[in-house]
Amino acid sequence: MKALAALISVAALFGIVHLFHGGSGEGRTADHSTQSPGDYRLVANGDEASCAVKRGTEVAQGLSLLTVTANCRRVLPGIERAKFWREQDDGTVIFSVNGIDPIVTFGVADGDGYESYAPTLPLLSLAASSDRR
């Protein structure tokens, strides 16, 4: 029952944020030509494939909107559906469609950024765009 209440709350928050953006979908098609603090690069298995993701506005404690470019499906099929970035108290980060159920889970990596541990394959790294390797 708690999960249902949480899901309803997240959906309501998402709807409110969507209304503030005029319902135009601009958050999903943002211009990535200029980097901002929320710009990240998602890389699979040591540069096999990569794409851009953007951590957006925080909508609740530890929960932010997420923009994932369409070509991210080459990195991990299904990840392009992710709409939320949730940062847990232990520093782990999950990407999800609904703010709760993870598509991918990242732990803090050695140095800057994150490395995925679920699913186990492919191994993904996530780093701020300004930290390109």
| Domain extents in the chain | 38-128
Q: What is the CATH number of domain 38-128?
A: 2.40.128
> Which of 73, 53, 67, 50 lies closest to 133 in space, CA to CA?
50
Cβ burial 84-105 (10 Å sphere, 16+ → b, else e): bbbbeeeebbbbbeebeebbbb
Write the pLDDT tens digit of every residue in 55-101: 999 999 999 999 999 999 999 999 999 999 999 999 999 999 999 99
**Listed range (25-39, 75-89, 117-131) with the worst mean pLDDT:** 25-39
pTM: 0.69
* Separation CA 103–CA 128 (nearest Å): 20
Q: Are 102 and 96 in contact (CB under 8 A)?
A: yes
* Separation CA 124–CA 47 (nearest Å): 9
* Separation CA 87–CA 114 (nearest Å): 12
